[in-house]
Amino acid sequence: MKSLEELAAIRERMQRIVDTRHTDGETVRVVVGMATCGIAAGARPVLNAITEEIARRELHHVVVSQTGCIGLCQYEPIVEVFVPGQDKVTYVKMTAEKALRVVGEHIVGGKPVAEYTVGSIR
């Protein structure tokens, strides 16, 4: 970054990608753990992959947000998906590639990717 203008342009671009609307009962929420443990484990590329894929697919019913510590630091990066009327699904040890599969199969297709969930940890 070389200037405040460049920083402002990056901020504006990211705000367009990450929709911060309030949920309305039909909106799918995707929450990425972005505390220091998550960031150190690679949460930023996961967040970027999710937001870019949602924008690419023009999924206007999906809101992506960040949160602090989810409390399972050893399983970071963590992504939680909240679909109205369904139980929350917590994905662990995420990567950008896994995140793309979650968007395609869970958010678009309606079927959680079981092998990435907190319930699959042994």
The neighbouring-strand residues paired with 66 are 32
For the chain, the domains span 4-120
Tell me if the pTM is above 0.85.
Answer: no
Rounded mean pLDDT of the chain? Answer: 89
Question: Do 72 and 118 contact (CB within 8 A), yes or no?
Answer: yes
Average of pLDDT values for 49-62? 95
DSSP 7-48: HHHHHHHHHHHS--PPP-SS-EEEEEE-SHHHHHHTHHHHHH
Assigned architecture for domain 4-120: 3-Layer(aba) Sandwich (3.40)
More confident of the two residues 121 and 5: 5
**What pLDDT score does 118 carry?**
84
Tell me, what's the pLDDT at 39?
94
Q: Would you say 75 and 118 are in contact if contact means Cβ atoms under 8 Å apart?
A: yes
Per-residue pLDDT tens for 18-55? Answer: 544 445 578 999 999 999 999 999 999 999 999 999 99
Judge whether residue 116 has pLDDT over 80: yes
Q: Are 113 and 102 in contact (CB under 8 A)?
A: yes
